[in-house]
Structure 1
Amino acid sequence: MSAFDRDLLENDKIFVGGEWRRGAGGAYVSIYPADQSVNAEVSTATARDVDDAVVAADVAWRKADWAGLKVHERAAVLHRVASLIDARHEALSVLQRRDNGKPINETRGLVRSAANTFRYFASCAETLEDSVTPSRGDYLTMSVHEPLGVVAAITPWNSPIASDAQKLAPALAAGNSVVLKPAEVTPLTSLALARICDEAGVPKGVVSVLPGKGSVVGDALVRHPLVAKVSFTGGTTVGRGIARLAAEKLMPVSLELGGKSPTIVFEDADLDHAVNGVLFGIFSSSGESCIAGSRLFVARPIYDEFVRRLTRAAQCLRVGDPSREDTQMGPLISKQHRESVERYVAKAIEEGGRLLCGGERPTGNAREAGFFYLPTIFDGLTNDARVCQEEIFGPVLVALPFDDEQSLIEQANDSVFGLAAGIWTRDYKRAWRVSKALATGTVWINTYKQFSISTPFGGWKESGMGREKGYFGIREYMRQKSIYWGMNEQPLAWAK
């Protein structure tokens, strides 16, 4: 299993206020989840590093060499970031694979997505318009938008480079400075992105990248008085804690949190499409995805046939070396996370679930050295089982039959989460009706897990608040201001 281009990193240093230096915290040893070999040793940040980065970001934001630039000048820098990502596409793809164990074809897609995200928000910066609003008197009224200041971006370990870009690009395009805190276990691609931003001409201090523990770095960022907004992607429990701290500061937050997404297969669905789509929705990324379609509802008349076909197809998925072009599932992120998934599998069996496939670690082909787990399918449970209500964040699917549309919608919506859902049917009226009834931020119809940077994404209920991507994605990093411009020829009547 190949190594990566170490020129992307700056030895064991972190990026603080536009300068590479050793973090004041302890060293973190990054390992490759596929075989536990060492990737690199990275120093981590402390609260003092956070303060240095935030103060530098505040100074940089207030200076005219970033927020004060004309929008096309900021856009040009973001286009250079995108071009540098493209120029190092394969090296970044390999680094992302080593960072979290995703198959190489998937990490290539994530790197392409990151470059396109910077291009999209560069274009947004140039084309966003403020408005002249209808006047109600002898004055001109305008609604304008301005940057917030210093943004703290806290990203997860499952898709680091894409998640980083989805926060960095719109925040920078809007004229903010950004302090990025990557997940503790996946710091490498974020540090490589810091190098690219520096080379592209992002002014000193506008971007910092601070690896380390969330309880240290993340907490210090959220509490810092100069941080004007936090954008967080991760678990719901941590998201709630951030929201509480933000409330004390009256600070806006964007929270993209957990999910327990339903996938629905109606009797008239194209079963070939549905089988492949359901498999992709839950088992791509080894199930380590907030939008994973982990609850499968199938119309009872086709339930047995569909589940048989799905189980056979799941058993044929290629689980193994992420560097191979034909690998479909790599390892889970860590030993601890695999053990968590195993506990959920044991709980499903304890609750009466019938194990149809998987439920164990694979053997052979050197997979014993990594954190691999086989695609797992259960049935025989009800929607109130723990594995149907709690996010597992792994390759575990529960299949459930349904009898009618109304009971289906009630079960699909019977969750504290509301991030995504999938519908498989040939009936376009039913697809529209059910998609409107589902309490979720995204619905896929006859497809799954497809994304467009131009289309907003975010959750309902405990899946979060705020939106990423699209027009909303850049406005989330701006504050609105109203301007009244007097046009009266005579003094205000009151002053006579």
Structure 2
Amino acid sequence: MIDLDPIQPICIAGQWHQGGGDLYHSLYPATGEVIARLHAASLEDVEAAIVGADRAFRESGWAQRKPHERAAVLYRIAALIRERSEALAQLQRLDNGKPIRETRNLVASAAATFQFFAAACETLEETITPSRGDFVTLSVYEPMGVVAAITPWNSPIASEAQKLAPALAAGNAVVLKPAEVTPLAALALARICIDAGLPPGLVSVLPGKGSVIGDALTRHPLVKRVSFTGGTRTGKHIARIAADKMMPVSMELGGKSPTLVLADADLDHAVAGVLYGIFSSSGESCIAGSRLFVTREHYAPFMELLAAGAAALRVGDPADERTQMGPLITAQHRESVERYVELGLQEGGRLRTGGRRPQGEVFDRGYFYTPTIIEGLSNDARLCQEEVFGPVLVAMPFDSEEALLEEANASCYALAAGIWTRDFQRAWRLGRALQAGTVWINTYKQFSIATPFGGWRDSGLGREKGRLGILQYMEQKSLYWGLNEQPLAWAGGQR
């Protein structure tokens, strides 16, 4: 457990202080125990962090370092994450209740992200563009200045690395606002950045309410970009503020992702993939495959296998190596999931499995919920259209490919989708027709830091990851280098 004395400090422009806001407790979702006490950042802390970040950006020389010199610091950050990997994994387990095997994978992902963007930084090429006159034309990239990164509670250290690494690689200073309920991984990552030799002031971590801290960050005139991962409603609020500032944003928002199981699918692979797609991370995932469409001729046998698999999943103590599903993040969020399940039943749905709090001593104090499958709803039901962000799957049969595509695409969200089929041509056709930022074929919820990620419509703007993800945090500039030997004719060169 975390030492509760003294109160955890926060990082303000590279310095460690108690926050100026209210004292609050961070709770372990598996037991409800207090694991840390800290003061939230105040508005004065926000101002100090942004002003300090701007000063560090202008005076530290970080932006002026050669790309390979910035990369060397990012490589050291990756190495320190790996050196401290078990402590970080245990910290994130306490922070948000994910099973320990999953948090180890997230820490490994964070290290790989810093390593990838270190390589992207030192190999990023600028361009000499084709000349159209007596001049040489170049396209170059410059850092923006102070960047705000606002991250969610479901995968803290991985989400934070995906914003910090490219923004720092580009030469910026970053003010990081972690989710209020999961501040600890972000604070640990800030210490690693400083220990790796990042100049003071380039990273701040400001825990607290998003409606206060996030709003102040977004509105501040020195903040030149906001990268946000979270709910669609909050994302739209940030976008409206950004529009008034003419400030670019990147947003990874909600999802209601469809999974399509076709008649020729390998059933064992499909069942395992659907279970992993919705119930890993306790369903608290933006790309969770929460809408399932199965060809009608195979619907009944497939659902028998799927329901049995869901009922057999190990829900329990996140510290147990065998646990597959831990608790939900808070008691309030579990109540929200329960309300959605009740809504689905009121809409005419039938409970196939789950739909309850598990019983037993290990579950009594935590925020656990069983893997839940609901059938009998049409795709226009609220449970099929609204993001639950929990372990709740809605299953529906389909009769034709045309109807399948219409229903799969009938959502305000367009983040991800999955297809299970042995037919290569059909997979290609459906994969191109599905409206989503990511489509998995015969797999699900697999990620590569080298592959861009993001959504359409209410699922977001812009892309994270990928070799060119670093350019999200840079401004493009064109340079013209005149080669003409005579003065420009218009200004009197005819003499």
Distance 2:38 2:109 in 1: 26
Distance in 2 separating the partners of 1:79 and 1:166? 15
Residues 77 and 201 of structure 1 are in contact (CA less than 8 Å); yes or no, is this contact kept in structure 2?
Answer: yes
Please say if residues 60 and 199 of structure 2, whose CA atoms lie closer than 8 Å, have aligned partners that are also in contact.
no
Q: Are residues 1:271 and 2:244 paired?
A: no
Which residue is 2:100 aligned to? 104
- The residue that corresponds to 2:238 in the other structure is 242
* 1:35 lines up with 2:27 in the alignment: no
Provide the rounded CA distance (Å) in 1 between the counterparts of 2:180 and 2:469.
25
Counterpart among 411, 414, 434 of residue 410 in structure 2: 414
* Residue of structure 2 in register with 1:314 after alignment: 310
Aligned position for 1:163: 159
Aligned pairs for 1:74-113 (under 5 A) are 74-113=70-109
Cα distance change, pair 223–10 in 1 and its aligned pair in 2 (3 A):
farther
Task: Check the 8 A contact 1:10/1:20 in 2, yes or no.
Answer: no
CA contact (8 A) 1:294 1:398 kept: yes
The alpha-carbon deviation at position 127 of structure 1 amounts to: 0.5
RMSD across aligned positions (CA) = 1.1
Cα drift, residue 268 of structure 1: 0.2
Mapped pair 1:262 → 2:232: no
Q: For the Cα contact (< 8 Å) 1:18–1:198, is it kept in 2?
A: yes
Indicate yes or no: 2:345 matched with 1:345.
no
The Cα shift of 1:494 comes to 1.7
Residue pair 2:328, 2:390 contacting (<8 A) in 1 also: yes
Deviation at 1:47, TM superposition (A): 1.2
> What is the aligned-residue identity percentage?
67
Q: Which residue of 2 aligns with 1:205?
A: 201
| Deviation string, structure 1 residues 334-390 (Cα, Å, up to 9, x no partner) | 000000000000001101101000000001142111000000001110000111000
Secondary structure class of the residue paired with 2:364: helix
1:145 correspondence with 2:174: no
Structure 2 counterparts to residues 467-478 of structure 1, below 5 A? 467-478=463-474
Return closer, same or farther for 1:214/1:328 CA change in 2, 3 Å cut-off. same
Instruction: Please tell me the residue identity of whatever aligns with 2:171.
Output: G
Asked if 1:280 is matched to 2:276, the reply is yes
2 CA distance for matches of 1:401 and 1:331?
Answer: 30
Q: How many residues align?
A: 492
Shift of 1:473: 1.4
Q: Deviations over 1:236-286 (max 9, x none)?
A: 000000000000000000010000000000000000000000000000000
The reply to whether residue 233 of structure 1 matches residue 216 of structure 2 is no
Match of 2:425 in 1: 429
One-letter identity of the residue aligned with 2:299: Y
- Rounded to whole Å, the distance in 1 between the matches of 2:128 and 2:260 is 45
What TM-score does the superposition give when structure 1 sets the normalisation length?
0.98
TM superposition shift of 1:64: 4.8
* Residue deviations 1:82-140 (CA, integer Å, cap 9, x gap): 11100000000000000000000000000000000000000000001010000111000
Runs of 4+ in 1 over 6 A off after TM superposition: none
Q: Which amino acid aligns with 2:483?
A: M
Gaps of 5+ in 1: none
SS in structure 1 at match of 2:208 = coil
Match of 1:372 among 352, 363, 368: 368
> For the Cα contact (< 8 Å) 1:262–1:297, is it kept in 2?
yes
Residues 121 and 170, structure 2, Cα contact 8 Å, conserved in 1: yes
Of 110, 117, 121, the match for 2:117: 121
- The AA in structure 2 aligned to 1:332 is L
Contact 1:320 / 1:365 at 8 angstroms: preserved in 2?
A: no
CA–CA distance in 1 between the matches of 2:307 and 2:148?
43
**Stretches of structure 2 lacking an aligned partner (at least 5 in a row):** none
Task: Please state how far the C-alpha of 1:10 moved relative to its aligned partner.
Answer: 8.1
| Match 1:224 to one of 216, 220, 224 | 220
Distance 2:38 2:403 in 1: 51
Matched with 2:383 is 387
2-structure distance, mates of 1:196, 1:49:
21
- 2:226–2:248 Cα contact (<8 Å) kept: yes
Asked if structure 2 preserves the Cα contact closer than 8 Å seen for 1:139 and 1:487, the reply is: yes
1:485 lines up with 2:481 in the alignment: yes
